[in-house]
Every structure is written in C-alpha cells, then in structure tokens.
Amino acid sequence: MHKHYNGLKTAALFGGIFGLLLLVGAGLASYTNNSSFILLFALLGLATTFYSYWNSDKLAIRAMNAQPVTPEQAPWLYQTVQELSARADQPMPRLYVSPTMSPNAFATGRNPSHAAVCVTQGITQLLDERELRAVLGHELMHVYNRDILTSSVAAAIAGVISTIGQMISFGAMFGGNRDSEDRGSGLGMLAAALLAPLAASVIQMAISRTREFDADQDGSELTGDPLSLASALAKIEQGVAQAPMAPTKDMVNASHMMIANPFGGLNLRQMFSTHPSTADRIMRLEQQAQRMGQ
C-alpha cells in the first residue's frame, strides 16, 4: 500500500500544469483578441510529443548508443528480468546495454508490450547482483506504472506553455497599441510569458520526482528488497559524481528516464532536478524495509 500518496500528488500537479495552460491561453486570447492560433500551436506540441512517446524506446536507446543483448551474452541479466517480469505477470521487455561507464539505468517504451530496459556498462561493474536486481525492479515498475505516458503528457503541456510564452513575449514587446493602458497590459503579459514556462517546468519536474518515489516503492515490493535499492542508489550517486554523462541535447531529453541524475552536480537547485534527492529516497526505502520486517 502506498504511504506517500504519490498518485494523488501527480494528479494535483497535472491540475496545476493544466491550470497554467488555461491561464496563459486566456491571457493571450485577451491580449490579441484572437485565440484561434492557440489551438494550432497546442496541436503542434501534442503531435511532437506523441511522436516522441510513440518512439520513446528508439529515441532513448539511440541517445545512449545502447546495443541489444541476448540470453547468451548476459545470462544473469536476462534471467533476472525474466523472473521479475513473470512475478509482475507482465511481458518481458527487450534488454540493452550501453557502453558508457557512467553508472545508470532506464526503462522506456509506450507500454509493457513495447518496452525496453537499458543498463550501462558502468552500473553492471559497480553494483552487486542484489543491488542490480533491485535497480531492474525499479525500472520495470516505470513501464508497468505507465510513467512514460505520464512524463510525455507533462512534457507536451509544458512545451505548449513555453511556445505560447514565446509568442506572448514577441507580441508584448513588438505588437499592440502604444497608449499607457496597452503598455501596462503588454508588460503584464510579458511577465506572464517569462514566469509561466518556468512554473510549468518546475511542475513537470515535480511530476517526475513523484514517479521516481513510486517506482522505488513498487520496485522494492516486486523484488522484496528495498535495502538493496537504497544501497544501489548511494553507490550510483557516487559513481555518477566520478563519471558524469555529457549533457548533450539527446541526453538532457532522456535524463528524466534515468534512475539517477546522470549529470552529477550540474543541477544546482533541487527544484530544477527531475529526481528526488538520494537521501530522501534512501530514507523512504529504509522505512519501507522496516514495514516489511527487514
């Protein structure tokens, strides 16, 4: 049973980001007296995100330069994912290994039947078998909880808000009449244009953090071993600090899928991180272990 109400938190955050979208759209319609183009940009943003969601497994795998592995190439890895998938009564995803030495793992795919789990070479060398099994359980629960859909919808709405914000900025600076009332209105819309995309990004990242907490909890219930996941997270954080991934555009777009922030200390403020702090995650996992009598 969930103790942290992360599903409710996610619903509340979605309500907030939808509210931002409606607020920005209403402001733009009022300022321009023409709201028809809002629909055009909204559909464009949703279409782009749908494409990313539908092809999320290919895009993320390509960003990591990962290669598929067979049971012969990685027998323990294959058998472990097969066992956990069977325990969850779900299809087994495709397995990939990325050659990077930065320790991390992710799952992607639009549904359990079109999913992939990827681990880096670094994480297979850093963790022991119990810890790696706990990480795999976490990643499988991202797929089974439909977190790829959740993050795609959040990204779509945030993208639409950002696009509208850019349009408002342009209109407020260069459009409209020049009397004092319109100048005041323009400045107000410019402020909204700057703040709304920032707020949408913060909410989007907060949604990602709640899904990480859920995957920690559900994955530990699947494996029955929350303490091994706690140990793995501590090791991964240290390993990433020593060997962070380069923040390329493709990697930044895929970073929210990783079990840990792949860029080490580059996220200077926790509010702008797609991942909860490792200390908070470990604390919750230790509490879960106590409830399970461990």
What are the tens digits of pLDDT across the range 166-192? 666 665 555 544 444 454 555 555 666
Could you confirm whether 139 is annotated as catalytic? yes
Residue 34 has pLDDT above 70, yes or no: no
| Entry pTM | 0.78
pLDDT value of position 151: 73
Q: How would residue 48 be classed by pLDDT, with cut points 50, 70 and 90? A: low
Domain map (residue ranges) of the chain: 6-291
Number of residues that make up the chain: 294
pLDDT value of position 4: 46
**Which of the residues 139, 212, 237, 286 is marked catalytic?**
139
Amino acid at 132: L
